[in-house]
């Protein structure tokens, strides 16, 4: 696993729980239902770059 993959942030489309993982789980650890996860990682210097959540994607 690369450093960049470990830094991805995922937000649950159901309960908005956010977690850091290389890929999203099948079930949300918070609401425990199958959810669509949105990649909310920052990829631009304006939002802090890798290792940060892009606040514009809330």
Q: What are the tens digits of pLDDT across the range 31-58?
A: 999 999 999 999 999 888 888 999 888 7
Kindly report the pTM of this predicted structure. Answer: 0.80
pLDDT band at 5 (very low <50, low <70, confident <90, very high): very low
Enclosing domain of residue 11: 3-57
Report long-range pairs for 34-38 (Cβ below 8 Å, ≥24 apart). 37/10, 37/11, 37/12, 37/13, 38/10, 38/11, 38/13
Q: What is the pLDDT of residue 51?
A: 87
CATH number at residue 16: 2.20.28
How many structural domains is the chain composed of? 1
- Tens digits of residue pLDDT in 16-25: 999 999 999 9
């Amino acid at each position: 696993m690369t450093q960049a993959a470990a830094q991805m942030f995922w937000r649950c489309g159901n309960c908005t729980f956010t977690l850091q993982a290389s890929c999203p789980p099948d079930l949300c650890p918070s609401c425990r239902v199958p959810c669509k996860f949105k990649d909310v990682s920052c990829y631009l210097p304006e939002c802090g770059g890798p290792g940060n959540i892009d606040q514009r994607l809330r």
